[in-house]
C-alpha cells in the first residue's frame, strides 16, 4: 500500500476503532452509530480489512484494528434489518413546523 493511502487508512481505522469500543462498552448507542455510519463502517472494513490483517501479521499485533473489525461484523449481521433512511423515513416531518 502506498504511504499516503496507508496514512489515510490509519486515520480511518482509529476513528472507527474508537466507535467500536464505545459501542461495545455501551457508551454509544449501537443503533445511533449504525444509523450514522453503518454503511460506511462496512465499506471501509472491506477496503482496509486486508491491509489490517497484513499489518497484524507484520507487526505481530493481532489487536490492530480489532474494534473496527468487530463493529463492521456486528453491523453486517444486522444490515438486512435496516432500511436506508431515504426509504424508511419518507413520511417524516419536523416537530417544529414554524417557518
Alpha helices in the chain (DSSP H): 3-24, 30-59, 66-78, 85-88
Q: Is residue 96 part of a domain?
A: no
Of 6-15, 29-38, 59-68, 69-78, minimum mean pLDDT range = 6-15
Q: Is residue 26 part of a domain?
A: yes
Query: What does pTM read for this prediction?
Result: 0.83
Q: Is residue 11 part of a domain?
A: yes
What is the pLDDT, as a whole number, of residue 83? 85
How do residues 39-94 score in pLDDT, each as one tens digit? 999 999 999 999 999 999 999 999 999 999 999 999 999 887 788 889 999 999 98
Instruction: Domain count for the chain, please give it.
Output: 1
CB 75 within 8 A of CB 58: no
Residue 41: domain span? 3-88
Q: How would residue 16 be classed by pLDDT, with cut points 50, 70 and 90?
A: very high
Distance in angstroms (rounded) separating the CA atoms of residues 41 and 36 = 10
Q: Is residue 29 part of a domain?
A: yes
Q: Is residue 31 part of a domain?
A: yes
Q: Is residue 93 part of a domain?
A: no
Amino acid at each position: 500500500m502506498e504511504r499516503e493511502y496507508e496514512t489515510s487508512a490509519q486515520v480511518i481505522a482509529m476513528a472507527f476503532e474508537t466507535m467500536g469500543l464505545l459501542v461495545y462498552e455501551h457508551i454509544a448507542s449501537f443503533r445511533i452509530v449504525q444509523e450514522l455510519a453503518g454503511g460506511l463502517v462496512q465499506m471501509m472494513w472491506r477496503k482496509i480489512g486486508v491491509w489490517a490483517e497484513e499489518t497484524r501479521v507484520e507487526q505481530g499485533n493481532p489487536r490492530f484494528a480489532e474494534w473496527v473489525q468487530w463493529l463492521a461484523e456486528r453491523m453486517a449481521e444486522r444490515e438486512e434489518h435496516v432500511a436506508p433512511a431515504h426509504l424508511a423515513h419518507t413520511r417524516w416531518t419536523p416537530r417544529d413546523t414554524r417557518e
